[in-house]
Amino acid sequence: MLALSAILSTIVPGAPTVSSLLFGGELWLINSADIIILFILVLIIGALLYTNFKAIILMSLNKELAVVILERHPRVIEMMFLVILSTTIIVTIKIFGGLFLTAWLVIPAATARIISNSAAKMIIYSNLLSVMFNLTGIGVSVYLDTPTTATMVFTNFLAFVVIFIIFKTSD
């Protein structure tokens, strides 16, 4: 499929290049439609997390327990969660690329896991840390004139390493 994508990207006018799909385009090249889609996605995710938080946590811990406590099968919530995740990946792959997207999604959550003691705090910390690290990455990218998405991911990684060292050596 990657080979077909490479072929089609050279044939179809205006198609993204293989390089931009792997490593992302420049953050400065997103348009207002992308921002509107991301904003709507954030609102939908926030509403779904707010209304189904207990069910999502139960389902992620133990599906059988979730069935008993929720008195229904968590299949709908599981599918909803997968649709949200896949939509987020589809929308953001244009900006971050396939290789950087995974790191961009995982590193703030892993960092938040180190400093939080509950699932609710982890979600809040993950979002706050992600905004803070990414804004720092954008600033560093502008200052050093480096690729924006790569600099954002590297900033996330450096922050993770620093927080890991601070919190794990103090234990």
7 assigned to some structural domain: no
State how far the Cα of 119 lies from the Cα of 104, in Å rounded to an integer. Answer: 19
Is the predicted pLDDT of residue 5 greater than 70, yes or no?
no
**Confidence class of residue 8 from pLDDT cuts 50, 70 and 90?**
low
Q: Containing domain of residue 56, as a range? A: 17-166
93 assigned to some structural domain: yes
154 assigned to some structural domain: yes
Dihedral over alpha carbons 169, 153, 104, 111 (to 10 degrees): 10
Least confident of 69-83, 102-116, 121-135, 142-156: 69-83
75 assigned to some structural domain: yes
Determine contact, residues 134/156, Cβ cutoff 8 Å. yes
The pLDDT score that the predictor gives to residue 29 is 64
70 assigned to some structural domain: yes
The pLDDT score that the predictor gives to residue 112 is 94
Is the predicted pLDDT of residue 27 greater than 80, yes or no?
no
**Confidence class of residue 66 from pLDDT cuts 50, 70 and 90?**
confident
- Interval 123-164: pLDDT, tens: 899 989 999 998 999 899 899 988 888 888 899 999 999 999
**Sequence-ordered alpha helix ranges (H) in 12-145:** 18-23, 32-61, 63-70, 75-115, 119-144
143 assigned to some structural domain: yes
Say how many domains are in the chain: 1
Token digits of residue 77: 């919530």
12 assigned to some structural domain: no
136 assigned to some structural domain: yes
- Interval 32-42: pLDDT, tens: 887 788 888 88
The pLDDT score that the predictor gives to residue 103 is 80
Is the predicted pLDDT of residue 2 greater than 60, yes or no?
no
Mean pLDDT of 67-72: 77
